[in-house]
Amino acid sequence: MNVTSSVREPLINGGKTWADITNDICRQVEGKPSKSWIIAFTISVLLLGVGVFCVMYTWFVGIGVWGLNKTVGWAWDITNFVWWVGIGHAGTLISAILLLFRQKWRTSINRAAEAMTIFAVLCAASFILLHMGRPWLGHWALPLGNTYGSLWVNFNSPLVWDVFAISTYLTVSVVFWYIGLIPDLATIRDRATNKISRLIYGIMSFGWNGSAKDWSRFEAVSLVLAGLSTPLVLSVHTIVSMDFATSVIPGWHTTIFPPYFVAGAIFSGFAMVLTLMLITRKVFKMEDYITLAHIESMNKVITLTGSIVGVAYITEFFIAWYSGVEYEGYAFINRATGPYWWSYWAMMTCNVISPQLFWFRSVRRSILATFVLSIIVNVGMWFERFVIIVTSLHRDYIPSSWAYFSPTWFDIGDYANSFGLFFTLFLLFSKFLPVINMAEVKAILKSSGDVQTGHGKTGSAVSDKESVTHHS
């Protein structure tokens, strides 16, 4: 039997039974949408509408509607791309790496975090298409022999690696997420009271019936997918960082970029998971499943990765001076004191100083503080990408071509589009699919439930019976 030390905090509170888990998590899937959901969904769709207009305008007119100029050729587009991809990384970290490490607290949050991954990667991909300027020629990035001869894509280019990395990442994330959903969709199908939902969830659940042989295969698939996703997620942000690191731009040409970017990605992703989960647990009343123990664990990951990012910033600065390269040194002095000093210090404050507050247990376990800090971290991580991209580009080797980038309304509108898309998809997910992995939470109930481990008050007769069988 699976035994967990009694020192460990329970991960499921409220003396839940297996049936309670099913009821609690299916409730919002089966019920009518709540008022707060409808309001949030309306706002998201409106935002998406404005965003789609801006994106269409950008497509028709061209990326000249952005604030780009001859010197700053990448700005908000690539900033937003890297930011969204980075956010996606937390979902894979939670579902894959924490699975390999056998972290049980992953079970309550992995479903929503993976959904977040998929939606974030879609948002990121939208910027990749958009920044091409002519998105209808996006397939030119694929190795298709073209009509002008057999000229192929250049496999030495990190931009081509990125095409493969992002599309593989999106595909594998969707597959991993969907496979995990199948048993829970079957639960909803088996409970469905009307024909339409039985039909739809029946098709979506692929006919799953929970036989022991299927579970055994399911577990093998989950484990191998986790093993594949772990190096995959590390490779994705490594390759994203190589988009910069393999160039010769001072400020980009840095060997620490891959680990520094991966740490930053997990840092921002966990912050986004917290922002979303704190709202979800409140709105859907899931406080018993996403407990303070979960929040504290995530905050610890934020402190760790935030500190890695801080060390990376300082290392970059030190190496810029230590290398003795004039351009490199100037790029960094310019970051901190040049025209974009405010973005540099916004990044330093949000990413290096603010997560250090989580060293205090009371801050780690405060919902309000966690919520505020999770947003601050994401603001900071957006500024990090902005600093890396724009401040490295805007003053290049020839002072006569130095320039300043300011966003236009279309820069802002296209960014708003990604928020509209992200929240619309997330809200649809949270209404129609189970936001918590029921099967996995049920599987850890005996080893991590409060009553079952003797933490909570022994209340109902059912709980008593279960705790007895647990110790037998």
Partner 1 sequence: MSEVKSYLVGVFDDDDVLLNAIRSLREQGLKIVEAFTPFPIHGIDGALGLNRSRLPQVAFMFGATGLTCALTLQISTLGYDWPMNIGGKPHLAFPSFIPVSFELTVLFAALGMVGTFLLASGLGPGSQKTIFDPRSSDDKFILVFDPAKNDKFSLEEITSMLKSAGASEVNIKDIVEKH
Residues 161-180 that bind partner 1 (CB under 8 A): 161, 164-165, 168, 171-172, 175-176, 179
Q: Is 160 one of the binding residues for partner 1 (CB under 8 A)?
A: yes
Binding partner 1 (rule: CB under 8 A), the pick from 13, 22, 280, 378 is: 22
Distance, in Å, from the CA atom of 91 to the CA atom of 41, rounded to the nearest integer, reads 22
Give the three-state DSSP class for 12.
Answer: strand
DSSP state of 9: P
Instruction: State the nearest-atom distance from the C-beta of 389 to partner 1, in Å.
Output: 21
- Considering only 122, 132, 159, 228, the residue that binds partner 1 (CB under 8 A) is 228
Q: Which of 207, 322, 409, 454 binds partner 1 (CB under 8 A)?
A: 207
Stretch that binds partner 1, among 200-208, 253-261, 363-371, 424-432 (CB under 8 A): 200-208
**Cα distances (Å, whole numbers) of residue 463 to 13, 36, 105, 199, 424:** 12, 33, 21, 34, 39
Among 97-105, 121-129, 220-228, 312-320, which window interacts with partner 1 (CB under 8 A)?
Answer: 220-228
Please tell me whether residue 261 binds partner 1 under the rule CB under 8 A.
Answer: no
186 binds partner 1 (CB under 8 A): yes
Which single residue is written with the structure tokens 């970017």? 261
Using CB under 8 A as the binding rule, the residues of this chain from 420 to 459 that contact partner 1 are: 438-440, 442-443, 446
206 binds partner 1 (CB under 8 A): yes
* Piece in contact with partner 1 (CB under 8 A), picked from 5-13, 48-56, 84-92, 186-194: 186-194
Here the tokens at position 112 are 């929503």
Task: Tell me the three state secondary structure of residue 42.
Answer: helix
Residue 212 touching partner 1 (CB under 8 A): yes
The 3-state DSSP class for residue 451 equals coil
Contact between 150 and partner 1 (CB under 8 A)?
yes
The answer to whether 272 and 378 have CB atoms below 8 angstroms apart is: yes
Tell whether residue 159 is a contact of partner 1 (CB under 8 A).
no
**C-beta closer to partner 1: residue 70 or 102:** 102
Q: How far apart are CA 68 and CA 410, in angstroms?
A: 11
Question: What SS3 class is residue 52?
Answer: helix
Residue 235 contacts partner 1 per CB under 8 A: yes
Does residue 472 touch partner 1 according to CB under 8 A?
yes
In three-state secondary structure terms, 449 is strand
Q: How far apart are CA 179 and CA 29, in angstroms?
A: 19
Instruction: Give the residue, chosen from 15, 51, 202, 258, that forms a contact with partner 1 under the rule CB under 8 A.
Output: 202
Closer by beta carbon to partner 1, 34 or else 171? 171
Among 55, 72, 181, 225, binds partner 1 (CB under 8 A): 225
Distance of CA 393 to the CA centre of its chain: 27
State the Cα angle at 31 between 28 and 33, rounded to 5°. 75
Q: Are 28 and 282 in contact (CB under 8 A)?
A: no
Minimum CB distance to partner 1 smaller for 61 or for 220: 220
Distance CA 382, CA 388 (A): 10
Residues 312-351, one symbol each (x = binds partner 1 by CB under 8 A, - = not), give ----------------------------------------
Q: Which of residues 377-416 bind partner 1 (CB under 8 A)?
A: none
Give yes or no for residue 78 binding partner 1 (CB under 8 A): no
Report d(CA 13, CA 355) in Å as an integer.
Answer: 27
Output DSSP code: residue 70: S
Nearest CA among 389, 263, 395 for reference residue 326: 395
User: Does residue 62 bind partner 1 (CB under 8 A)?
Assistant: no
CA distance 260 to 241: 9
Q: Which stretch binds partner 1 (CB under 8 A): 45-53, 216-224, 270-278, 371-379?
A: 216-224
Instruction: Using CB under 8 A, pick the residue from 140, 152, 321, 360 that binds partner 1.
Output: 152
